[in-house]
Structure 1
Amino acid sequence: MLVTLNGEQREIAADNVAALMSELDFTAGHFAVSLNYEVVPRGQWAETPVAAGDEIEILTPRQGG
């Protein structure tokens, strides 16, 4: 299915956030996932579906001020 991932159109096979993170090899580290402008808590990734046309952002923390 076609989604927007970090501002770019991308074809994915995953049907939920957890499967998407695995498909993209984001299995460790500190990052957050926003699905249609709402942050999805890590504990809810497996039950949060991803649908065609969704806008997904993978966010990483940055230091600075």
Structure 2
Amino acid sequence: MNLTLNGEAIITKTSNLAALLEEQGYGEAKVATAVNGALAPASFRGETQLKDGDAIEVVAPMQGG
């Protein structure tokens, strides 16, 4: 399946967001995720099915003042 991850085209065989994050090296990282612009909460990543052409954004929280 063809996806866009943080603006980069990727090809994957994974079918859900949790598996994609694991495959891409995010594993247990504390990140925020969105699929096609809609927030994808961590508790629903295993249930969030991906489709060909989806755009996924993964953002790590930043600290600062």
TM-score by length of 1: 0.89
Aligned to 1:51: 51
Secondary structure at 1:46's aligned position in 2? Answer: helix
Secondary structure at 1:13's aligned position in 2? Answer: coil
TM-score by length of 2: 0.89
Uncovered stretches (5+) of structure 2, i.e. residues with no partner: none
Count of matched residue pairs: 65
Over the aligned positions, Cα root-mean-square deviation in angstroms equals: 1.1
Structure richer in helix, relative to its length: 2
Aligned to 2:64: 64
Runs of 4+ off more than 3 Å: none
Q: Percent identity?
A: 37
Uncovered stretches (5+) of structure 1, i.e. residues with no partner: none
